A and B are shown apart, each in its own frame.
Chain A
């Protein structure tokens, strides 16, 4: 069965600090990978996605993620966070065959101090 692990449940950073959120998945086949973000009081929205090709994916608002197949990881990074990045971040995976259900991690709550 597919599963997604996010190691950090709560992260607190100061503005301009660098960010890296860990995500590891468990699945034996080919997967597609996603990061979603949920700002306070808002719905989840897509931050970036990986299907194939260049394992370094760039998303909105300066975020990027790197797919490392050998480590089953898809970590999210941002060189310099802003107060407006305060949100909850979810990693998700879906298989490329079968029923295509999206499996989400437990989420990481990021708080950026001004």
Chain B
């Protein structure tokens, strides 16, 4: 599955800068999930979006983090004023329908690794 594209694959930022991570879902998929992976912590749910709508953002930190999935173009995860604790791998997944229940499967990208110096 090479369908979910994330870029950049690696991103280095200094403290205080902004990080923008992009995710292009598989063709025909209208639902996008973002997860953060920290060592020994597994995949932490951040946000679930449908085109032009945020369905569930209960995993997003209250400050500095935002996500969007516009009608046209990729989904963007934006982290403002990054801190060292934001260093992690950020994974995007897409599904073709509400929760992907047609197949029950999320399709993952290869992740974006953010390093904050």
Interface hub of A36, A44, A51, A107 (most chain B Cβ within 10 A) = A44
Assess the A43–B110 pair: CB atoms within 8 A: yes
Assess the A90–B42 pair: CB atoms within 8 A: yes
A interface majority secondary structure: loop
Given contacts A43-B108, A106-B41, 9 further A-B contacts (CB under 8 A): A6-B42, A43-B109, A45-B1, A99-B56, A101-B45, A101-B56, A102-B99, A104-B42, A106-B42
Assess the B104–A32 pair: CB atoms within 8 A: yes
What total of chain A residues lie within 8 Å of the partner, measured CB to CB? Answer: 23
CA distance A17 to B93 in the complex (A): 33
**Which residues of B (77-109) have their CB < 8 Å from a CB of A?**
91, 93, 98-99, 101, 104-106, 108-109
Report A64-85 CB contacts with B as 1/0, cut-off 8 Å.
0000000000000000000000
In the complex, whether B4 has a CB less than 8 A from a CB of chain A is: yes
Within 8 Å CB of A49, what residues of B? 104-105
In the complex, whether A27 has a CB less than 8 A from a CB of chain B is: no
**Which residues of A (27-45) have their CB < 8 Å from a CB of B?**
32, 34, 36, 42-45
CA distance A32 to B41 in the complex (A): 22
Query: 10 tightest CB-CB pairs across the interface, nearest first?
Result: A100-B99, A106-B42, A104-B43, A99-B56, A44-B108, A43-B108, A107-B42, A49-B104, A43-B110, A46-B105
In the complex, whether B69 has a CB less than 8 A from a CB of chain A is: no
Assess the A104–B35 pair: CB atoms within 8 A: yes
In the complex, whether A7 has a CB less than 8 A from a CB of chain B is: no
Assess the A99–B48 pair: CB atoms within 8 A: yes
Interface hub of A32, A46, A103 (most chain B Cβ within 10 A) = A46
Within 8 Å CB of A46, what residues of B? 104-106
Assess the B45–A100 pair: CB atoms within 8 A: no
